[in-house]
Amino acid sequence: MKCFTCNEKRPQIKRPKTGKPICLDCFYDCFEKEIHHTIITNELFKKGERVCIAASGGKDSTVLAYIMNELNKKYDYGLDLFLLSVDEGIVGYRDDSLETVKKNRDDYGIPLEIVSYKDLYGWTMDEIVKMIGLTNNCTFCGVFRRQALERGATFLKADKVVTGHNADDIAETVLMNLLRGDYHRLTKSVDIITGKEGNMPRVKPFKYTYEKEIVMYAYHKKLVYFSTECIYSPNAYRGYVRELIKDLEAQRPSTVIDIIHSGEKLVIDKNQARAKQQIKRNCSICGFMSSNNVCKACALLEKLSKMKAKKTIEYEEIKTINNTNEKISNVVKIEI
Ligand code: SF4
Ligand code: ZN
Ligand code: ZN
């Protein structure tokens, strides 16, 4: 049997996207050209831009860093690339994955900046989970990460942030928003460029790239990535939707792309959804761009402070100084 693409070499894999046998060289070529095509047709970058690659050390962002570096050279995009990582402060997970990002930095020669929740917000995720438990942790983490990326990219004077969201992630998000009736998010979830109305646009060159192909590419190219899941990852709802898509894919292999295409066409009340997104102002607490008077991160931080205060008992301790009648009072705080 011959490779379906070059019709010369012996096929080494079955390509997930097409189901056809293909040799590795043709697979690399098709994979890279398709991402280049997505970048060009959607005008994701302009020559001379400073672009931050959101890097977590996972498979998507590792392949993203590698591909962006390759395509930038091969097609002369003329971009200044940076790796930008967020340290959520999760011991045993993020500290290990950041070591992988440092390896990417050294392997690809791209400068790396790390921003941490502790520095930006005064809390690590470990401390937040200790305070709030494992129910809403990903909501806190998601809001903080989004803002941390924007702050890091602004610090680096970047023009935009590029993220490794792949076709499977996007299909899951579309379906989740559809099932929840969240049309504001549904509108945004298929956008290849988001955050245009704010300071820092985010772009997704892997919008049409299958997760299985990213894994295959990383594996055969021997790219080093971190594959452990976050220790605080419940995300049950996304898990159900992922399983549903996997079941549907077994019946109809084009399910992921079909959902994305449906999401692109099925935009309900687009103007109303966008009008809501466009009202932007500065947060009255931190000054960062926000759609409300107080940004989501500050609102969550306020919530955390209130919870912390509640967990602290204050009482007045009165002591008599030795051999005198003099008394001193002292306010004692105990964290419970
Ligand atoms: Fe943060 Fe949740 Fe992701 Fe862990 S799983 S990194 S807590 S968003
Ligand atoms: Zn071939
Ligand atoms: Zn704020």
The pLDDT tens digits for 77-96 are 999 999 999 999 999 888 88
Instruction: Give one DSSP letter per residue of 78-136, joined into a string.
Output: --EEEEEEEE---TTTHHHHHHHHHHHHHHHT--EEEEEHHHHHS--HHHHHHHH-SSS
Question: pLDDT exceeding 70 applies to what percent of the chain?
Answer: 89
- Which residues pair with residue 335 across a beta bridge? 312
**Residue 23: partners with Cβ closer than 8 Å, 6 or more residues away:** 3, 5, 6, 8, 9, 10, 11, 12
Ligand nearest to the CA of 4: 2
Residue bearing the CA closest to ligand 1, atom 6: 230
For the record, the structure tokens of 53 come out as: 């690659």
Ligand 1: which atom is nearest the Cα of residue 234? 5
**Residue 296: partners with Cβ closer than 8 Å, 6 or more residues away:** 143, 147, 290
Is-contact 52 80, C-beta < 8 A?
Answer: no
pLDDT at 313 over 60: no
Average pLDDT of 113-124? 97
Q: Which residues surround ligand 2, an ion (CB under 5 A)?
A: 3, 5-6, 9, 23, 26
pLDDT at 269: 64
For the record, the structure tokens of 183 come out as: 């049309």
- What stretch of H or E contains 55? none
Average pLDDT of 183-190? 85
What pLDDT, in 10s, does the model give residues 134-158? 888 888 999 999 999 999 999 999 9
**Residue 195: partners with Cβ closer than 8 Å, 6 or more residues away:** 150, 201, 202
Q: Is 232 close to ligand 1, i.e. is its CB under 6 Å away? A: yes
Locate tokens 């831009």: which residue?
49
Ligand nearest to the CA of 133: 1
Burial 240-270 (b: 16+ CB within 10 A, else e): ebbeebeebbeeeeebbeebbeebeeeeeee
Q: Which of 171-180, 293-302, 316-325 has the lowest mean pLDDT?
A: 316-325
pLDDT at 276: 55
